[in-house]
Amino acid sequence: MKLLIIEDDKRLSSTIKETTEAKFEISQAFDGDEGLYLAEQNIFDVIILDIMLPHMNGYELLKKLRDKKINVPVLILTAKDSIDDKIHGFKVGADDYLVKPFHREELILRLEAIVRRSVGEFNDNIVTFKELKLNVKSKSATINSEVIVLNGKQFDLLEYLINNKNIILTKEQIFDRIWGFESDTSNTVVEVYASHIRKKLKSVGYDIYLKTFRGLGYMLTDAGENDA
């Protein structure tokens, strides 16, 4: 799971990173422009967003994301504690609102709740699809206790597909999420890795759930349909 922290106070940003890095892969931005640039890549599972930011405030940033139909869950974390501030935050698209100073345990619980509402179960680093279980911490995969060997980004790609099951993910989305939008690698690598995953899933009869949309992308679907 990927978390973007948009907070201009570098000490506080580091504290948030230390608090959350056991459960999330962390990226940080320290002003509104940088935060918007990273958030627009649409490769994060959740964003922690401060309001009082240099160059562009958090309300403006969030409104721009929602106007572009980027629906990544956002937790506003700010010292602005008036009811008008909270109402405005929710109106521009926030999923939750937490006032500074905050308890670390509460921050984690709120992030977990947001993730559950967005992608489903968030439990002890286990991601599931039918009988397929991925342990994000150990990078291991099993189906009915049978081990499936997934190497490096094969695991990351399958995790991304599971977290977005029944949603078509374009090759561009997958590439930006798994390899990074600044990677020098071509996005044709997505097809190679998808093919590898399909072969791994075929050994346990789960390849029927990985649907290919030619020229577009991939979807892990409960329906188990054939390729389009």
Residue 82: what pLDDT? 95
Q: How many CB atoms lie within 10 A of CB 149?
A: 10
* pLDDT of residue 88 exceeding 80: yes
Question: Which domains, from first to last, does the chain contain?
Answer: 2-119 (3.40.50.2300), 126-220 (1.10.10.10)
Phi-psi category of 130—alpha, beta or left, where left has phi over 0 and alpha has psi -120 to 50? left
Angle CA 221–136–228, to nearest 5: 20
What average pLDDT does range 196-204 have in this prediction? Answer: 93
pTM of the model: 0.67
Residue 73 near residue 95 (C-beta atoms within 8 A): yes
Extract the tokens encoding 50: 């401060």
Q: How far apart are CA 98 and CA 15, in angstroms?
A: 15
User: pLDDT value at position 121?
Assistant: 54
CB 165 within 8 A of CB 210: no
For 128-142, what is each residue's pLDDT tens digit? Answer: 899 999 988 788 999
Kindly tell me if the per-residue pLDDT of 122 is higher than 70: no
Mean pLDDT (the chain, rounded):
90
The C-alpha atoms of residue 17 and residue 73 are separated, in whole angstroms, by 18
Q: What is the mean pLDDT of residues 19-48?
A: 91
Between 121 and 148, name the one with better pLDDT.
Answer: 148
The answer to whether 204 and 130 have CB atoms below 8 angstroms apart is no
What is the average per-residue pLDDT within 215-223? 90
In this structure, the strands spanning 217-220 and 169-170 are antiparallel
Cis amide linkage into residue 54, ω under 30° from 0: no
pLDDT at 227 (0 to 100): 47
Instruction: Give the pLDDT confidence of 92-111 residue by residue, as tens digits.
Output: 999 999 999 999 999 999 99
For residue 30, pLDDT beyond 60: yes
Going edge to edge, which strands form the sheet with 169-170? 169-170, 217-220, 210-213
